[in-house]
Amino acid sequence: MAIPLSAQQTDTTAVTTDTTQIQEDESSSQIRSAGGSIPKDAVEFQSSDSLIIDFTEGKKAFLFGKASVTHTSGQLKAGEINMDIDNSTVEARTLTPNDTLSRPVLTRDSEEIKSTRILFNYKTKKGKFEEAQVKISEGHLIGSKIKNINENEVFIQDGRYSTCPPEYLYYYIQAQRMKVVDQDELFFSNAQLYILDIPYPIIFPFGYVPTDIEQKRSGLLTPTYAFQAQNDRGLGLQNVGWFQYFNDNLTGQVDGDIYTSGTFYLNGLMQYRRTDYYNGRISLGYSNDRGMEPTDPDFTENIEKSLSVQHNQNLSPYASLSANVNLRTAEFNRRNSYNINDRAETNSNSKVSYNYRHPENLFTFSTNAQVVQNFTNYSTRVSGPSANFRFKTFSPFQNENSPAGQTSWYESINLSYNNTLRSRFEFDPIDADSSEITFFDALTDRELYEQATGDQDYLQAGFQQSAGLSIGQLIPSQFLNVSASANLNEYWYPSSIRKSFNADSNRIETDKVYEFEAARDFDTGLNFSTTLYGISNAKIGNVEGFRHTLRPSVGFNYRPDFSEDRWGYYQTVQTDTSGTTQRYSIFENEVFSGPGRGEQRSISFSLRNVFEAKVVKRDTTGEVSENTLRFIDNLSLSSSYNFAADSLNFSNLNTSLSSNAIPGVNLSASASFSFYQRGEDGQPIDRFLYEDGKKIAQLQNFSVNASTSFRGGNGVEVFTPEYRRRYDPFNQARFHPIDTRFGLDPINPIRSPWSFSLNLSYSWRYQFNQDPQRSATIRATNISFNLTPKWKFSTELGYDFIGKEVLPSEFSLQRNLECWDLSFQIRPFGDFQYYFFSLRVNSSQIQSLFQKLPVLKNLERSSSPSGRGRRYGN
């Protein structure tokens, strides 16, 4: 078939009988069909210097100077390209052997191959390459010979793989043979790791590297070197383990720590998730803490265990189920956690709950069960199953058509109702540290429970229902708000108590009566509130006005004395042989305390203050801008007086203050004052302080807190030289005492981003006939800044001014080493000191094997000690 040829000429054209030569500054040619249109699989080629077409021995083309050949199979660029059109092959090389600018480059999709010589068939998509460089995702392949047998497979001889740029390979894997499949999988055999061209004595008979980070894969976790100055653990490795990807909804992980003392920790983690339906995790922990050698006389061994189950599930758009179960031995967190809050915990909490909401919000229902383990006194408390039902508050007389501001008082009547069912089991053994009866034994056997605790309250249960009525506005007024409320509570109990005095033993004996009992109480309230404003037009500088807002509130509350005999909820018991008696509630120690003792006829008052100023600024053009500045956001005082009490009618005066007047600084303070004197035993007596002429009130406690945060810097300019010398261990000129390039690189200006938060707190508490209890601390948290463009430092610091000691602090240092990331963490203060050291490749491909496996739709894995479950603060 004849192939028409078209060419543009700008300089000269020479045609002979056997050769057609076209020379031009910028020429381009295309192999076209006879009709003039470009077919889909056409070959387009061009060059900047010259183009020679030779028909003597087939159809051949020779391109010189920025030559380019484009086909659907890829694009080839080089200083010189020879084309064999009949055989569909191209051969590319540099114009001169040392010319790196005209080095052949073959680009196919996202794959880029650089070589000194390329022979490629654009029909079969096969090729051969000499001294080639292949770019695969984030990595680079360099080989003495590379052969592309088809579109999906590439073979490399004497290959090197690295995620560093080819110009300076800080590390690489060298193998005799390599194979790339589908541009996302690299296989190799007889490989060795090199760092700074130094071979490490580790031979890999075969290996595999996933070059496509988007795929989910299993792999090894990144170990961290650690030193821990606790129980002589010594040196060790942490986070040694394996991450297993099953599918997008399920992953697993097994990891552990091991120390030179023989101490080890094992952790198993299973995570699951189905989007919009459920998610959760199950974790098992086991540690064996060994102190010193087994042959030493002070040798100790402690075994700790833990089980954690978390589950959340949406049963429907209106119902959900959640579970958070945490069971562990007493010393597990203290021996294995690096989180200061975990180490201070003395309780273990587990909770399971179910919640339901009516589609139209008419009511809500919830039920839950909770278990609390106290490792201080070895007690266990089970609360539940408990249930709560609550109706939506509604207004039966509300008229939606009433004009705004013209509603009647009865339209603001609101009714509410809710009920609660509770059950409780408390296991507090008498011999807590030596009891042979376990919590589960006592839970399933009442006799064992009474034997271990000496208590008859085996299982406790109760039911409470409450109804409320409130009126939002009793009188139509724009200046005074008058509201009223009434509440009625009813309690049901399956049992009650009766007390009697035993004269022989001279003590009170308590008997449990198992029969249904019911009790009721109620209270009412009336509240008055208004808002007052004080305005001043005084001018001070840019301040042209002040406003003081006062919101006083006065309330009256009434509740009868339900300890009177007519109610039947309280009884009297003799306490000693002299005939002294006391009143007690027959519902003592029940899940609901029942009606309260003592009449309540109290008046409460509070006053809230807000201080503001108007700031006016005028620019040079006369334009005025106004801004409101709050000096005090809230200054409140509150107290109450009980008319029914026979003594100590006044309650404490409570005050609080909050302000953001200083930009960026949050200031808060609170204080409490007592009006009464104290007796010899330190208890308040019915005598005012002013009666002795000393003072009006005694400060009981005071606290102030100030916090702020700072940040600055607008980034770091990282200077990268145009030419970087490739590291050559045999080039001693690199170590020449005189640096020939000294002073050629510009000084890099550092505008490092930095930030930190500062918190200052002080508290004071009055103690009768003793020095007051004081606390003063300063904490600087979230401290972070760049020492250099690649060095990052972060820490948090604290100091106790009263104890004169440094609070537990942790320091972290990170360095980007081009192809590596170095991190160092240390906690040098406190009773739990340690440090971690980690050096890892920052490439996502290598991390997929040893560090950061992909995030699987929020199924995360732990890749460092500071992120592994409850041990490290998750």
Per-block mean pLDDT, blocks of 10 residues, the chain (874 long): 34 36 39 51 82 83 87 84 86 74 77 80 79 71 78 79 76 83 74 82 73 59 68 75 88 89 89 92 90 68 89 94 90 77 80 95 95 86 92 88 76 94 90 74 86 83 95 86 95 93 88 92 95 90 90 95 93 89 91 90 95 86 84 94 90 94 91 92 89 87 93 60 45 54 55 84 91 91 82 87 82 80 79 73 52 32 38 35
Domain-located, residue 107: yes
User: 383 and 526 share a domain?
Assistant: no
35: amino acid identity, one letter = G
Count of structural domains within the chain: 3
119 with 35, same domain? yes
Does residue 696 form part of some domain? no
771 vs 767: CA distance, rounded Å = 6
What integer pLDDT is reported at residue 455 of this predicted model? 81
Regarding whether 541 and 447 lie in a shared domain, the answer is no
Burial 751-774 (b: 16+ CB within 10 A, else e): ebeeebebbbebbbebeeeeeeee
What residues contact residue 822 under an 8 Å CB cut-off, 6+ apart? Answer: 814, 815, 838, 839
Single residue among 449, 476, 503 that ends a domain in this structure = 476
**Is there a single domain that holds both residue 574 and residue 603?**
yes
Return the ∠ at Cα 261 (arms to 259 and 265), rounded to 5°.
45
Q: Is residue 361 part of a domain?
A: no
User: Based on the domain organization, do 459 and 427 belong to the same domain?
Assistant: yes
287 by Cβ neighbours in 10 Å (0-12 / 13-18 / 19+) ranks as: buried
Q: Are residues 432 and 503 in the same domain?
A: no
User: Which residue among 440, 458, 476 closes a domain?
Assistant: 476
- Residues facing residue 355 across a β-bridge: 320, 366
Q: Are residues 88 and 145 in the same domain?
A: yes
DSSP conformation letters of 27-65: EEEEE--TTSSPPTT--EEEESSEEEEE-TTSSEEEEEE
The predicted structure's pLDDT at residue 30 = 42
pLDDT for position 722: 41
Angstrom distance (rounded) from CA 292 to CA 262? 9
In the chain, the largest separation of any two C-alpha atoms, in whole Å, equals 142
Q: Which residue type sits at 797?
A: L
Dist CA 153 CA 179 (whole Å) = 7
Please give the full DSSP string across 777-812, using - where no structure is assigned: EEEEEEEEEESSSSEEEEEEEEEETTTTEEPP-EEE
Do both 443 and 499 map to the same domain? no
737 Rama class: left (phi>0) / alpha (psi -120 to 50) / beta: alpha
List the one residue out of 457, 465, 386, 390 whose CA is nearest residue 422.
Answer: 386
CB 606 within 8 A of CB 651: no
Q: Would you say residue 30 lies in a domain?
A: yes
Domain closes at, from 220, 238, 255: 220
**CB 628: neighbour CB atoms within 10 A?**
10
Q: Is the same domain home to 426 and 563? A: no
Contact 338, 834 (CB under 8 A): yes
**Gap between the Cα atoms of 60 and 55, Å rounded:** 6
**Domain that residue 86 falls in:** 5-220
Gap between the Cα atoms of 121 and 143, Å rounded? 20
HSE, CB side, 13 Å, CA atoms: give it for residue 840.
24
- Inter-residue contact 653 to 675 (CB < 8 Å): yes
43 and 189 housed in the same domain: yes
The answer to whether residue 432 is domain-embedded is: yes
Region of residue 589 (phi > 0: left; psi between -120 and 50: alpha; otherwise: beta): left
Give the domain CATH number at 204. Answer: 2.60.450.10
Q: Which residues contact 50 (CB under 8 A, 6 or more apart)?
A: 21, 22, 23, 24, 27, 63, 64, 65
Strand partners, 658: 634, 668
Q: Does one domain contain both 412 and 551?
A: no
The residue type found at 355 is N
Q: Report residue 235 as tokens.
A: 């040196």
Instruction: Report if residue 409 sits inside a domain.
Output: yes
Distance CA 46, CA 30 (A): 8
Q: Does residue 778 belong to any structural domain of this protein?
A: no
Which residue bears the tokens 């720590």? 257
Task: For residue 297, tell me if it sits in a domain.
Answer: no
Residue 663 DSSP label: T
506 and 549 together in one domain? yes
Q: Are 120 and 70 in contact (CB under 8 A)?
A: no
